[in-house]
């Protein structure tokens, strides 16, 4: 399996996706020899219903001004992506899609299901982008790659960390990440002990053996949680080893009308410390 077509989700309003995320996505497409499609969302700001307050405040004019800002930002972001992809020699497509902000996730899901992987830029505490990323992870059947917008170093695949807990989600993530793992210099398998019950009859050597069959240079690290949240343990371990990429399974389930995320998934979605591939 290889990633032949990647999808990059870009937003123009109210905050424009930082160019660093564009650079990271283009670098990844170059590493994978893949085509990269940028889907830039131009947010359509709705008119405010009529009334005395709307008339006095000229809300219709304000809405038109904001729509123009979004349209200008979308064109500029699309042009910046096109220029960067051309400079890098990466095959690409670039599209602008105008819709209400409430429609972004639905439109993105339709496109994401027709691409090998979707790249979602994500900032610290960006609630809307977290929601969009969550929808991609759990609603497409394809892997998602979170691109932290604060990470400015060029994306590389020197060291990749796999968060391994012997689960089906972790196994799916490893399978989905294989095209990336095969390009890594070192793959570190992290097993967090004393955080939850793990199969007693399995050990790190099992996953190491599987990965070695793919010609990977594998190191298994077993770390005690020491009563720390698992997301913090994973993040600290990745930072300690200078990891370029984290691979992990995504956990979530419905509870009445709410969607409840697993601890590590919630931590990564709220504040990804490094590019992170998630599969469900």
Q: What is the pLDDT of residues 18-49, one digit of tens each?
A: 999 999 999 999 999 999 999 999 998 776 65
How far, in Å, CA of 137 to CA of 280, rounded? 6
| Topology of domain 5-148, CATH | Rossmann fold (3.40.50)
Per-residue pLDDT at 27 = 95
Residue 34 zone, left/alpha/beta (φ > 0; ψ -120 to 50; rest): beta
Per-residue pLDDT at 23 = 95
How far, in Å, CA of 54 to CA of 37, rounded? 40
Per-residue pLDDT at 8 = 98
Burial of 133: CB neighbours in 10 Å, binned 0-12, 13-18, 19+: buried
Q: Are 93 and 29 in contact (CB under 8 A)?
A: no
Radius of gyration of the chain (CA): 20
How far, in Å, CA of 247 to CA of 89, rounded? 27
Nearest to 187 by CA among 147, 234, 245: 245
Q: What is the CATH number of domain 159-275?
A: 3.40.50.620
- Across 45-150, the runs of DSSP E, i.e. the strands, are 92-99, 117-122, 144-148
Q: Across the 280 residues of the chain, what is the mean pLDDT of every consecutive 10-residue run?
A: 92 90 96 97 76 54 85 95 97 96 95 97 85 92 94 90 92 95 96 78 86 95 90 93 94 52 73 90
Every domain of the chain and the residues it spans = 5-148, 159-275
State the residue for tokens 């298994």. 220
CATH topology identical between 5-148 and 159-275: yes
DSSP 110: H
Q: Are 63 and 34 in contact (CB under 8 A)?
A: no
How far, in Å, CA of 4 to CA of 194, rounded? 39
Q: Which residues contact 38 (CB under 8 A, 6 or more apart)?
A: 8, 10, 22, 25, 78, 81, 82, 85, 92, 93, 94, 95
């Amino acid at each position: 399996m290889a990633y032949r077509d990647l999808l990059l989700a870009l937003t123009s309003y109210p905050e424009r996706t930082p160019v660093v995320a564009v650079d990271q996505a283009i670098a990844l497409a170059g590493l994978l020899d893949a085509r990269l499609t940028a889907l830039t969302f131009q947010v359509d700001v709705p008119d405010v219903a009529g009334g005395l307050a709307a008339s006095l405040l000229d809300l219709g004019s304000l809405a038109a001004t904001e729509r123009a800002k979004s349209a200008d930002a979308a064109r500029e972001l699309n042009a910046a992506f096109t220029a960067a992809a051309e400079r890098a020699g990466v095959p690409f497509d670039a599209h602008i899609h105008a819709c209400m902000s409430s429609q972004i996730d639905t439109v993105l899901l339709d496109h994401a299901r027709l691409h090998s992987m979707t790249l979602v830029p994500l900032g610290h505490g960006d609630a809307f982008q977290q929601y969009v990323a969550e929808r991609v992870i759990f609603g497409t059947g394809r892997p998602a790659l979170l691109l932290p917008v604060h990470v400015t170093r060029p994306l590389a695949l020197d060291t990749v960390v796999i968060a391994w807990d012997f689960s089906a989600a972790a196994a799916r993530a490893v399978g989905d990440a294989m095209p990336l793992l095969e390009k890594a210099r070192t793959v570190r398998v992290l097993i967090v002990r004393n955080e939850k019950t793990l199969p007693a009859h399995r050990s790190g050597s099992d996953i190491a053996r599987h990965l070695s069959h793919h010609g990977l240079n594998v190191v298994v690290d077993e770390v005690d949680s020491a009563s720390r949240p698992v997301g913090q343990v994973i993040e600290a371990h990745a930072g300690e080893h200078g990891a370029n990429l984290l691979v992990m399974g995504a956990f979530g389930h419905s509870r009445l009308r709410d969607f409840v995320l697993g601890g590590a998934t919630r931590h990564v979605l709220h504040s990804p410390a490094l590019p992170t591939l998630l599969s469900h």
